A and B are shown apart, each in its own frame.
Chain A
Amino acid sequence: DQQVKQNSPSLSVQEGRISILNCDYTNSMFDYFLWYKKYPAEGPTFLISISSIKDKNEDGRFTVFLNKSAKHLSLHIVPSQPGDSAVYFCAASAIEGAQKLVFGQGTRLTINP
């Protein structure tokens, strides 16, 4: 039972345009959400997070949106750059058991020049 789902295995975007990565979750107890970025042969690196008390968090070119009623979050990257090509994982945790992150399957983002 996949509690966090990233339904798009891959996404291709032109350099300079907006990249939108999506994530859905089923567990209503999740209250903290994160995005990680992963390059080949490296560990995931933290990108941005959002708490359930917010609906938007922005950090430079990266913005995460949270729609609690739809149990949906998205990561917007604008403008997209070639170095953004990587696999992106969303993850979620609940207040009880906050150390137990649940990850989605990942979306491979390719930025084309």
Chain B
Amino acid sequence: DAGITQSPRHKVTETGTPVTLRCHQTENHRYMYWYRQDPGHGLRLIHYSYGVKDTDKGEVSDGYSVSRSKTEDFLLTLESATSSQTSVYFCAISLNPADTQYFGPGTRLTVL
């Protein structure tokens, strides 16, 4: 299994509060991704990173920001959480853009 951890694994928060999710990898992969999984939608790309301090938007980036200050860490921030951001969030990594993406265990976020 690829060395990917996500923290926290579960979080309950209230509308309007800031939330940061962390993805940590030990594989030294260049690319890192954040997805959300919702019923009826599969997984949708939020943001991805192609190197330290290099990030780009995915399909559903509104309301989310990311940062990558080290190769091994990729942070996803919800500046002001909304109920529509209740979801399961997955981090993934890949060595190169066309390589297979390997996923972390996920974070279940509930926004009340």
Instruction: Name A's B-contacting residues (CB within 8 A).
Output: 4, 6, 32, 34, 36, 41-46, 49, 89, 91, 93, 97-106
Q: Residues of B contacting A103 with CB < 8 Å?
A: 42-44
B70 interfacial contact with A, CB 8 Å:
no
Which residue of B has the minimal Cβ distance to A103? B42
Q: Residues of A contacting B43 with CB < 8 Å?
A: 44, 89, 91, 101, 103
Bound Cα distance from A29 to B41, whole angstroms: 21
Bound Cα distance from A94 to B102, whole angstroms: 18
Expressed in whole angstroms, the minimum distance between the Cβ of B99 and any Cβ of chain A is: 9
Q: Are A99 and B105 CB-contacts (below 8 A) given A105-B42, A106-B42?
A: no
Which residue of A has the minimal Cβ distance to B57? A100
Q: Are A99 and B106 in contact (CB under 8 A)?
A: no
**Which residues of B52-80 have CB atoms within 8 Å of chain A's CB atoms?**
58-59
B103 interfacial contact with A, CB 8 Å:
yes
B90 interfacial contact with A, CB 8 Å:
yes
Chain B binding surface, main DSSP class: strand
Expressed in whole angstroms, the minimum distance between the Cβ of B9 and any Cβ of chain A is: 9
Bound Cα distance from A112 to B48, whole angstroms: 39
Q: Residues of A contacting B100 with CB < 8 Å?
A: 34, 46, 49
Q: Residues of B contacting A98 with CB < 8 Å?
A: 97-98
B94 interfacial contact with A, CB 8 Å:
yes
Contact of B45 among A4, A41, A46, A100 (CB under 8 A): A100
A-B contact pairs, 27 of them (CB 8 A): A4-B42, A34-B100, A41-B106, A43-B90, A43-B92, A43-B103, A43-B104, A43-B105, A43-B106, A44-B103, A45-B103, A46-B102, A91-B43, A97-B97, A98-B98, A99-B50, A99-B94, A100-B45, A101-B43, A101-B45, A102-B59, A103-B42, A103-B44, A104-B42, A105-B41, A105-B42, A106-B42
Q: Residues of B contacting A4 with CB < 8 Å?
A: 42
Expressed in whole angstroms, the minimum distance between the Cβ of B86 and any Cβ of chain A is: 17
